[in-house]
Amino acid sequence: MALRGRRRERATRVYELCSLSLRYPDAELDAAAPELRAAVAELPRGDARAALERFFEWWEATAAPARAAHYVEAIDLNKRSGLYLTFYSDGDKRERGAVLVRLKQLYRAAGLPLEGTELPDYLPVMLEFAATAPGGRGEIVLRENRAALELVRLALRDLGSPYADLLDATCAALGEASATERALAGRLAAGGPPQELVGLEPFAPPEVMPSTGARR
């Protein structure tokens, strides 16, 4: 039990650091970066810490405008490495709306209702939930979307993006993917997200649709 508790504590810290670091690199995140880097140095040595150290080495060596431009190119404008995980399994089909509602209900049931305008399948939101939900229950959303995590991780790696290191750290904290999860990631990569006819009403109910304003 003690070993499990220590593992959960380490994973929780990794999820928290990755949740913050995966957000758009604005001035607020830039100001917080030294504190985040110091928190990384306090992690036990291992794959997750090494991956986070690589990311912050890139961060410190790269000017703020270049970091922002890279984020937009690699994540915001790239459908293969976006951070809305249920898109990879449900695409633009109406069923995705039900999945998003279930996620919101899961967050609320854990006493951590979703605030703001982000969709509940946004990876930084999922990581925040994994870090804060009691009893380690927050990891369920990451495990359920492990195939999509692996897909985004590989896409970022193919791009040579330092943000792949944050996915590496997340996956290291989760533990090795199962054969089933790896196979599903391969199928998602080969087939792409499901599509529905263009021109239908928005796939998600109003309560989970983002506002018309920009995320940042």
Q: Which of 10, 21, 35, 42 is nearest to 164 (CA)?
A: 21
Which segments of the chain have a pLDDT < 70?
1-5, 92-93, 192-216
Neighbours of 109 (CB within 10 A): 11
Predicted local distance difference test score (pLDDT) of residue 209: 30
- Look up residue 129 and give its two tokens: 């939930």
Task: Supply the pLDDT for residue 210.
Answer: 33
| Model pTM score | 0.83
pLDDT at 185: 75
